[in-house]
Chains A and B, each alone.
Chain A
Amino acid sequence: MPAEINFHVTRFNPETDQAPYVKIYPVPVREGMTVLDGLHYIKENLDSSLAWRYSCRMGVCGSCGMLLNGRPTLACNTQILHIATTDLTVGPLPNFDIIRDLVPDLMTMFEKHIALQPYIVRADQAELDDPEGEFYQSPEELDAYLQFTYCIKCGCCMGACPTLATDARYLGPMPLAAAQRYNADTRDDGRRARNQVTGSSHGAFRCHYAGECSRVCPKGVDPARAIQYLKRQLVLDYLHLARRKKPCKKLHGPGQGKLLANITPAPAKTV
């Protein structure tokens, strides 16, 4: 017997509406049904004009970030009966302009992201463009940044950030965590260039360490920690106390790096 949950959905069309308003849709809910499924039900049966963004339906693409019962999270990754018994509020991610209904304008986030050069920066550009070998990196060095690579750029952390709520120019958790991800990568040599942006007046130092970004991240990334690492590195760089190290060197063929112990051999080729 399906339960009926009232979806309180924020609606807004900038071409016709003065301000966002809430519309209630009764949705029959079965065990295992996600909020995304509920939105599909509304679109197919109750109101075809409802707009939201989604793609993979499995918590990988980061498209369906929205505010569910006041918490920024992924609609595809959240089962309705886990968070609601009678009513469920569904709104767009805060701290972003609304394009329409539940679709936030994420461009401000991506512009900040791009400004931080979220890619490997090295002096040997020729090797990056036309690689002849591999850059060696130990498992310990990989561990230093691995968790920050899990970010799917859904914007949930940006929606939860209290600093961003008042300071629209603050870089925010996602771009800053991305900066830390590359700063901590031993193949990268772009930290000092990124410092110009992360150390700006709306950069890492504006973080109050509320920790909401880490709490809401659907992928378990800890952007608040990344920002504290950034602050420490910025101060060490300013005081000239940071160790000056060159990016890791290139290997000229396979098998030159230190291999992990007890790796199971690859199966024999079948073709």
Chain B
Amino acid sequence: MRETKYWTWHMAAGVVILFLLGLHMLIMHLGGITHLFAPHGGEATSRANSLYRDGRLFFLATYILLLGVALYHGLYGLRTILFELTLKPGVEKAVSVVLLIAGLGLFGLGVWAAFATHAIAIAGARG
């Protein structure tokens, strides 16, 4: 049943990715129409608008959430592809451990980068 748990979360992560990427599209690529989270006007990618978003806790949370679900979804998918190569059980276990360590490492690095960006944005907003 462990695989059922992994697969269920894989599907759930896919749905969250769809929602968050939809939000990304609305803010970054359809900004000219929606003007979402762009209080300084102009391009959504302008420095002022980027600092505004990076300084908000909502965006810090969504960055970390997107990082987590994308890493899980992608690495589980990679694990599935590798498992379909008829690996030996020992190799399958090693693959799972390597991917888990890689995922946790990348997640830690990403979280650090998200907090650093958030701190820089807040400092920038203060002048």
Contact = CB atoms under 8 A, between A and B. Distances in A.
B92 interface: yes
B37 interface: no
Interface string B79-90: 010011110000
A163 B3 CA distance: 17
A149 interface: no
B86 A205 contact: no
A238 B86 contact: no
Interface in A219-252: 231, 234-235, 237-239
A142 to B, nearest CB: 28
A238 B8 contact: yes
Given A167-B83, A167-B84, A169-B86, A201 B3 contact: yes
A34 interface: no
A203 interface: yes
Nearest to A235: B8
Interface residues of A, number: 21
Given A201-B92, A206-B80, A234 B4 contact: yes
Contacts, number: 46
A238 B4 CA distance: 7
Interface string A185-207: 00000000001100111110110
Contacts of A168: 86
A199 B84 contact: no
Contacts of A199: 1-4
Interface of B: 1-5, 7-8, 11, 80, 83-86, 92
